[in-house]
Each structure stands twice: as structure tokens, then as C-alpha cells.
A and B are shown apart, each in its own frame.
Chain A
Amino acid sequence: MHRRRVLAALLLAGALVVVPEAALAHGLVGREDLPIPKWLFLYGAVAVLVVSFVGLAILWPRPRLEQPSQRRIASLPRLLDPLCGAIGVALFVLVVLAGLTGSQTSTNNIAPTFIYVVFWVGLAVASMLFGDVFKAFNPWRSIARAVAAIASKAGSKQLPAPMTYPVWLGRWPAAAGILAFAWVELVYSGRGDPSNLAVLALAYAAVQFVGMSLYGIETWNRYGDAFGVYFGLFARMSPLHWERGTLHRRTALGGLTTLDAVPGTVALLCTMIGTTSFDGFQGGPLWGEIAPRMTDSLHDIGFGQAAALEIAFTIGLITVVAFVAGLYRLGVWGMRNAGASRLSTDELGARFVHTLVPIALAYVVAHYFSLLAYQGQALLYLASDPLGSGANVFGSASTTIDYTWISANAIWYVQVAALVLGHVAGLILAHDRALVTFTEGRVATRSQYWMLAVMIAFTSLGLWLLSAANS
């Protein structure tokens, strides 16, 4: 048993050695003038994690988050839900129309900036701050609800009941959806083409309508709609919770402890972290050396240049996702042995999967903050001229992106802070869950050595990827 543990420990340590340096793909960051080397920030971050771990072991003897309480703080007007839905539908129509009929230069069309910056990154941060706002603005959910309401009023017959959602399917459709979106964003050669994005958005909406009609609107939204699930997970970190026309306040992170870890949840979280990691990795120098070799090899066996490039990047994307999944699995395996748990590794992995949610958000913030800070400003001129046709609806079409409003140092500090806070949040959640999973406090703490190692490994990986930016 000891030999297996040492082997596992060596694997965990060695895992990071084999991953090469990477850089931010979307990072538009100037060169920092930091007072200390970047790698020293990692040592500081690790010190924070270790101190947090010790502090939790001493000062957090009983679970506090497992049964979160919430307090109603406001009632919401009944009109708000359909109003938000209508806004969501209008934005969806605007993006699709802009993509199909507007300028096909990506920077002149609102579709790429809206999808990759406002939607994918901005909404993730908004969900963490304000709760599940996407649920209210979700265009396909709003259309489905409107259609269902009209059909039930107009039709003489009762609408057929939805099918029972298969337990085995769990969040696998969401995991596949997020992987597919990441593939489009990071691998697909036509990712910047507004018309391609519009067609893909329509195709995604069509899949959602089929899913909702088969399994019910709310059930599909909870498990099958990739973006509904993605933003819903981040919303569970929020101290705000919207439910049936009321706004509740609850303990921050408390919403995560009630996450039902159905099949596919671990895969979804590993996909979320892994795809963001690959985005950093693929901008790094080593991938810059490996990718051409892979592409040349694929080209030599008969693939076209574009297809070869896409296949190489697909392999890289899946490899990094698998690496993240392996790292988490290794930590859970060690935790199981250290805690002498009767639960299987799969069961234990599911029980602790909610600890990965703050890490996934930390990776998103750390990786895409500069994109949001800079490219997010493009929305000002794109709102006035969404199709790139020369319009000036709000009088802001001539505005430009200000690259000086935040310094490169400030961006680095935000990135480091996001990673540290995300991993400390993960440690807190893991410690709290360990106290109810392993009955004896000492065993619970011992089991969490492994989660500490996992958190440090993810922190090292995250800072390593970031450090390569502009290096």
C-alpha cells in the first residue's frame, strides 16, 4: 500500500513536469514590471493554501456549509421573468442576425465579441456575483416557456407529459456541449467567422428545443443545456439565489453543497478546467513546437493542412482535459486510501466534485480577465453598429478600446488573486465535506492532505500557464 501511495505521489508531482509552458491565447497584456519574479507568486499562493488548510483543521471543527440556510430579502415583480426572457431572445436574435447578415470581419460584427466575451466570460462572473441570471435571460428556455404557455391556453388537449430524464445521462449532455463550445473556440478554423457562429448558435438552440420537448423545460435546463448548467454551477457560489419570484440571500458557496452529483458532473467540471487550461497551453512555446510536428505528420498521411491542424489541436484539447481529470482522480484516490473510506473512488469523486467549481471559475477569471477588460470595451462601439454596416444607433460607434485603463501589473494581481481565492474556496468546501464524509476529525484532516495537494497542483498549473504570457 505504501509503495502504491509513494508511486501516486510521484505521479502527482511528475504530472506537472510533463506539461510544457503555455501562454494566454486571449491575453492582450503588456509586459509587467513586477517587484518579484512570477514564480515567487506561486510560492506565496502555496503558503496561503497551506496556512488556510491548517487554519481549517484547527478552527473549522464542524460542517458549516452542508445545510445552507437562506433568507428571503425581496419579492420580484411577476413581469420581470418574461421581461428578462424577452431581452434574452432579442439579444439572441440580434447576434444571429448580425452573424448572418452583417460584416464578416470579426472585429466589426457583434457576434464574436458577444459570444466569446460577454456571454462566455462576462456572464460567468455575473453568475458568481448575482446568482443564476442566465436562467432568466436564457433565450431558448424563454421561447420554450412561451410556446408551452400559448399551447396550453390555445389547445383543447393537455400537452403530453415529458419523458423521464435518464439517470445515467446526468450532466453528460452539458459536458459534451461545453467540450463542443471549447472546440469551436479553440480548434475550429472558422471560429472567428460571424456567419459560422450564427449557424452554430441556431443549431445549438435547435438541440435545446428537442431536449426540452423530450424531457421538460426545467429538467433539460438543469442537466442538459450546457450553458444553463455551466452558468448555473457558478451561480451556486453566489450569496444571491433567485427562486419562484423571490430573491434570497444565502451563505456564499453554500449553494454548491446541495449540488446533485449526477453522472457526468465530474466530467463536466474537468472539461471546464481542462479546456481553459488548453487555451493557455496552446499559446505556449512547447505546444508551438509540438503542434507543427503533429500537423506535418498528419499532413504526410493524407490530411489537408486545415484538417491536420484541427486534428492536432483536438488531440491537444482532449489530452489536457484528460490530464485534469487524471489529477483530480489521483487526489480522490489518495483521499479514499488516507481516509479508509468505504465509498468507491467514483463515489468519493462525485461527493467532492463541487470543490472544483470555484477552481473552474478561478481559471476563467485568471485566464480571460484581460480579454474582458479590453475586448469587453468593444461592446460600446459594437452596440451602436452591431452589423458593421456603418450605423451609429447610440452615438458610440467611434469609441475605441482603451488599453491603458488598467496596467499589466494590475491584471497580473487580479489573476493571481482569482487563482488563490478560488483554490482557498475549494479547500473550504473540501474540508467541510470531509467532516461529514469521514466521521473522525483526524481522519477527515488526513484525507484532506490529498485535496490540498490537488489544490496546490491546480494552482501551480494555473500560475504556470499565466506566467508564460508575454514571457
Chain B
Amino acid sequence: MSSLPLAHVSHWLVQLLYVVPVVIVVGALAITSIRDRRAERSMPDPADEPAVR
């Protein structure tokens, strides 16, 4: 009763295994989103291309 919840660190560390998949997927998600944005930015704007006659 007198111990703090944070005292059971080893117990908590085992529980962190349940968070790892979420962290991995969210990390992959963030990286993919950033890459997508960069790719979109690097694509030439169709308005800048010379018109085909």
C-alpha cells in the first residue's frame, strides 16, 4: 500500500512488450507519411511544364 506504482519497474518493463508493436507501426506510419510528403513536393508541378503543341 505504501509503495508507489512506479516502484514496480521490472513488472512494467515486461508490460512494455505489449506497446512495442504499436510503437513500430506508428513509427513506420510517421516515416512513410514524411516520405510521401517529400515525394509529392519533389514531383514537378504540371503547371510548370511546357505545353505540348
**A460 to B36 alpha-carbon distance, docked (Å):** 27
Query: Does A292 sit within 8 A of B, measured CB to CB?
Result: yes
Query: A449 contacts which of B1, B11, B23, B33 (Cβ < 8 Å)?
Result: B33
A39 and B15 alpha carbons, distance in the complex (Å): 9
Task: Report whether over half of chain B's contact residues are helix, strand or loop; otherwise say mixed.
Answer: helix
Least CB distance, A5 to chain B, in whole angstroms: 6
Q: Is the CB of A449 within 8 A of B32?
A: yes
B33 to chain A, nearest CB (A): 6
The residue among B11, B14, B23, B34 with the most chain A CB atoms within 10 A of its own CB is B23
Q: A338-B33, A446-B36, A449-B32 are in contact. Are A39 and B18 (CB under 8 A)?
A: yes
Bound CA–CA A10/B25 (angstroms): 11
Contact of A9 among B3, B11, B16, B26 (CB under 8 A): B26
**Chain A residues, Cβ within 8 Å of B5:** 20, 286, 289-290
Q: Which A267-313 residues have C-beta < 8 A from chain B?
A: 285-286, 289-290, 292
Contacts of B32 in A (CB 8 A): 446, 449
User: Is A39 in contact with B30, judged by CB distance below 8 angstroms?
Assistant: no
Q: Cβ of B1 and Cβ of A460 under 8 Å apart?
A: no
Does A21 make an interface contact (CB < 8 A)? yes
A292, closest chain B residue (CB): B1
By the criterion of a CB under 8 Å from any partner CB, how many residues of chain B are at the interface? Answer: 24
Determine the distance from Cα of A21 to Cα of B11 in the docked complex, in whole angstroms: 9
Q: Is A463 part of the contact surface with B, judged by Cβ < 8 Å?
A: yes
- Could you tell me if B21 and A46 are in contact, using CB atoms closer than 8 angstroms? yes
Q: Is the CB of A453 within 8 A of B18?
A: no
Closest to A40 in B: B17
Number of interface residues of A (CB under 8 A): 35
- Known A20-B5, A290-B5, A292-B1; judge A9-B30 contact (CB<8 A): yes
Structural contact, B26 and A453, CB atoms closer than 8 A? yes
Q: Establish whether residues B15 and A21, one from each chain, have CB atoms under 8 Å apart when the complex forms.
A: yes
Instruction: Tell me which residues across on chain A come within 8 A of B34, comparing CB atoms.
Output: 2, 5
Contact among B15, B18, B26 with A12 in the assembled complex (CB-CB below 8 Å): B26
Tell whether, in the assembled complex, residue B33 and residue A13 are in contact, meaning their CB atoms are under 8 Å apart: no
Contact partner of A463 among B1, B18, B25, CB < 8 A? Answer: B18
- CA gap between A457 and B8 in the complex, in Å: 23
By beta carbon, the residue of chain A nearest B3 is A289
Contact of A181 with B by CB under 8 A: no
Are B16's CB and A5's CB within 8 A? no
Ranked nearest first, the 7 interchain pairs of A and B with the lowest CB-CB distance are A46-B21, A464-B18, A9-B30, A39-B17, A9-B26, A13-B23, A13-B26
Given contacts A17-B19, A42-B17, A460-B18, 8 further A-B contacts (CB under 8 A): A20-B15, A39-B18, A292-B1, A338-B33, A449-B29, A450-B29, A464-B18, A467-B18
| 11 examples of A-B residue contacts, CB within 8 angstroms | A5-B30, A10-B26, A12-B22, A16-B18, A20-B5, A21-B11, A42-B21, A453-B25, A456-B25, A463-B18, A467-B18
